[in-house]
Amino acid sequence: MNPRRGPLDGVFVVDLTRILAGPYATMLLADLGARVIKVELPLQGDDTREVGPFIEHETGGRTSAYFTSVNRNKESIALDLKAQADRAIFEQLVARADVLVENFRPGVMGKLGYGWAALHAKHPRLVMASISGFGQTGPYRELHAYDMVVQAMSGVMSLTGPEGGPPVRVGVSIGDLAAGMFGAIGIQAALLERVHSQLGKHVDVAMFDGQVALLENALARLQVEGRAPQPIGTRHPSITPFSVFRTRAGSIVIAAGNDAMFARLCDAIERPSLASDARFASNALRTQHHEALQIKLEAALQAHDAQEWVARLRRAGIACGPLNDVAALRDDPQVQARQMLVPLALPQGGTLSVAGCPIKFAGESPPTLQPAPRLDEHRAALLAEIGLGA
């Protein structure tokens, strides 16, 4: 692969992860400059290589857009960790590694002979990260988990959906993605501590824990109000107006987070009397009377379409925005200016537009993305590098 530059340049990562949470964590590390060696099962590789949607190639064959989107900037080697020859290769890679990342169920690495205690004794500077459904400890540690499971068990799904309606899964795999982000944070913290201690750490991240950590004010509301929060649609539980509103054509989001902004909003929609209405005199009162306020605001917003209102409200200093779908997002000028959608080359030709790295560094251009690897693509080069030949 072409040499990359970034804050983690020089960090060598051996990546045993598959599907989403682990690969997302190692993709973030790769985006920040780490060299990531993806170790996959022979013949089949990462499960998501066979998960759609697929890009069909004119020359025949197909590529998983799912796999491609979270495995850029990595090298691939296929190894069977139960086969002695492949174990020798793996151990040579680990001996060179700063970080080993895995997302097997707890106990699997130990059965393979690569548990934390054994690895730490042999490679004391190695940072090991384990990303699992429920973590390395606790009564659920050996249970299988997917994004849907941890969204449900954590209470996240109980908060999502229309008021009075059934629970709804968050529209992205927030259980996996949050675990991946927490994993990348933990790995970098362990690397930073190693500078002083000269010792690696075992980073233990659970998808379930990540969802609990994201509950933010729902936990506080449970304790203050004495009852479990329920779905309330798009509005905020304690800030009003802070929701989606219908206009003459299309919908917009308005987030007037304080009294001064609410007064400006009332002037901008030519309903100044709303600011002096006793029901809406404070944020607490507006939240108490949110239904009545929604009716008043949407009546005023029927005067123009969504695009016109967004322009007017932004001129007035109101936090607002259009309700985009993903197709509309693709054409958003801010997305383009921040290079948050970038073309990624495909191994068999063509490109796929993927999300760019959201971590920017002032004065630096985003690095060029390398395509997601073909299964076992870098085997020969890696074997030569570690002195094992073919």
Place of tokens 């085997």: 379
CA 124 to chain centre: 30
Amino acid at site 23: P
Q: Tell me the three-class secondary structure of 65-130, residue by residue.
A: HHHHHHCCCEEEEECCCCCHHHHHHHHHHHHHCCEEEECCCCCHHHHCCCCHHHHHHHCCCCEEEE
State the catalytic residue, choosing from 120, 236, 304, 378: 236
Give yes or no for a cis peptide into 358 (omega within 30° of 0). Answer: no
* Whole-angstrom distance, CA of residue 314 vs CA of residue 145: 43
Q: Tell me the three-class secondary structure of 256-296, residue by residue.
A: CCCHHHHHHHHHHCCCCHHHHCHHHCCHHHHHHCHHHHHHH
Over its C-alpha atoms, the chain yields an Rg (Å, rounded) of 25
* Whole-angstrom distance, CA of residue 8 vs CA of residue 98: 11
H or E stretch at 367: none
Other CB atoms within 10 Å distance of the CB of residue 343: 11
Burial (CB count within 10 angstroms: exposed 0-12, middle 13-18, buried 19+), residue 285: middle
Q: Which of 129, 41, 128, 38 is nearest to 83 (CA)?
A: 41
**Triad 41, 42, 46: Cα angle to 5°:** 40
Which two structure tokens, joined as six digits, stand for 89? 């290769």
- Number of residues that this document lists for the chain: 390
Active site residue 120: no
Alpha helical stretches, state H, 198-244: 207-213, 217-225
Residues tagged active-site: 236
